[in-house]
Structure 1
């Protein structure tokens, strides 16, 4: 059972500061810490809340949410968005205040990846958002003005146009609301331009009444990790450590520092520290995990998915077995009982449908893995192997005492895979179909090779 956050946290516990701008290794080849390492470090520093704001994506959101909750740390889900303004791309921090905000983060992230994936200012391909999308999906989100790559800092420092920067800040405040947009002072005094930007933002806050927050653009846990993180960025860019003109932050402390440390440098803007706590207090996202949502399959009026599953299984029973023995009937009924009790009937019907469609359209397919142990899968035409003949156990595929769902692996001919994806997308809707990402890590040999290349060894 999940206990309410108020049992664990009160504002006095935050020690006057909460990190709201933090990257993990899901900021690919930019952030260094793994999720569990990040959470352990925060726990060691007695942090009671922490945000995750990886670049352009929510890859680590669920893992972070679970890990932080287990550690007694309040998770704040966010991302560092890329905002396309004219021909320029700027950074903006978005934090989910509640479930509505989280869903809007999901929507915005998807829009950026699917409809506006293009080059940023460094010519890297990134998921870019527009201000029009922010206007549509701003509810439940808290925005921070971002690092030096944000629109407002860029206007202050690079373009030296304070008036235009103030106008941009008021524009964001209008989009998100005066109490949902914050000017972001960053704790990077060694970064060229940061002090000038911070001073400009403080002046702007005094003139406009916009609230401020203090952040550190965390990319690793300890300052000792800075060289490793620098090598990581070289691997990403294909450049070497000693290459002239290469962007480097190796002299800038972007570690996860303590509340006391960061607070000691911003006593002159105490409200900006306090606002990090207030934001953490306001961000109360409760994710309902573990419940499965299957696409709506076609069910005749007056019928249920469970009934259709049994009917289709019995049709297959007559077609595939000359003689239906009591043992076969018992096995089918047992499997149907487990499947329907767990609510997986729509899943089996959906898989059977696209497998049938594939065969009807001469697409070579094969089903592999533990699904071969399911008689119901055989009766529906999902697999070609009779599990009873080979004495394959159903429980290897779907155990009534195990909470994990069934996993039916279907392989399609490479040259027709897109046809199957197009079919299920058209049938269930583009918002119901996704290609699931997997993340690989460098093996030892590859890590040594790429590190050596970044250090200038061939």
Structure 2
């Protein structure tokens, strides 16, 4: 548990109240008292005190569930993994143990477990909404590429791309004996594709990016 819970376990109720009060003042309107119900002895020992503190300090409750495996039938397998990790035997009595309640519960399961505290489950949605954040969509910010006097980035990208294409056509497409008409016919699909790709790049506003990468 957290610092407040540890103080409650130690029987230091006044100290726990003082600490929770300081936290509530430091995080005004954003302090919740967490309630867990996995059937652990320490949870049963401290829940009443947590509820008293929450009600007396007018703090909202929130129901949480510490999950370590997806379904209840995975409990024994997870328990065995704990033993492997801690070099213990399943049959040992003095070792760390969880309960079969540490599985991933859905909304209906959580409401069943906390049927006497429905507001604690409702507050999980309140917290989720308060934590939600949508990044503002902005246009990419790129440094300008120096294309020389009177030449735009679109012009420069086209000039470099066309020069590169023509060089590759000579190397990989054109053959000896081709006349101009044959060369134009062979090059047509490549030039059309280049026009298309440049159109997409310009439409997206990325000619400067490609020039920077090429540079």
TM-score scaled by length of structure 1: 0.35
The answer to whether the 8 Å contact 1:294/1:347 transfers is: no
- Give 1 or 2: higher strand fraction: 1
Post-superposition Cα deviations, 1:177-210, rounded to whole Å, max 9, x if no partner, equal 32x2211101122x13112232221121123211
- Secondary structure (helix, strand or coil) at the match of 1:225 reads helix
Instruction: Report the secondary structure of 1:193's partner residue.
Output: helix
Name the structure, 1 or 2, with higher relative contact order (CA <8 Å, separation 6+).
2
Aligned residues: 197
Instruction: Identify the match of residue 242 of structure 1 among 89, 107, 123.
Output: 89
Spell out the pairing of 1:313-392 with structure 2 (5 A cutoff): 313-314=161-162, 316=164, 326=184, 327=187, 329-345=191-207, 347-353=209-215
In structure 1, how many angstroms separate the alpha carbons of the residues matched to 2:142 and 2:26?
35
Q: Please say if 1:296 is aligned against 2:113.
A: no
Give, in angstroms, the shift of residue 347 of structure 1: 4.8
**2:74 is equivalent to residue 225 of structure 1:** yes
Counterpart of 2:102 (choices 247, 254, 259) is 254
Structure 2 CA distance, aligned partners of 1:305 and 1:174?
Answer: 56
Per the alignment, residue 110 of structure 1 pairs with none
Alignment CA distance shift 1:307-1:205 (3 Å):
farther
Aligned-residue offset at 1:231: 4.4
1:216 maps to which of 65, 68, 71: 65
1:185 paired to 2:40: no
**Structure 2 unmatched ranges of 5 or more:** 175-182
1:170 aligns with 2:36: no
Match of 1:153 in 2: 5
C-alpha RMSD of the superposition: 4.1
Could you state the TM-score of these two structures normalised by the residue count of structure 2?
Answer: 0.64
**Structure 2 CA distance, aligned partners of 1:305 and 1:227?**
64
Paired residue secondary structure (1:184): strand
CA deviation map 1:331-380 (0-9, x unaligned): 43232223333444455345435xxxxxxxxxxxxxxxxxxxxxxxxxxx
Q: Of Structure 1 and Structure 2, which has the larger fraction of its residues in helix?
A: 2
The secondary structure found in structure 1 opposite 2:200 is helix
Spell out, residue by residue over 1:240-268, the C-alpha distance to the aligned partner (whole angstroms, 9 max, x if none).
Answer: 5627665332x341123465554455455
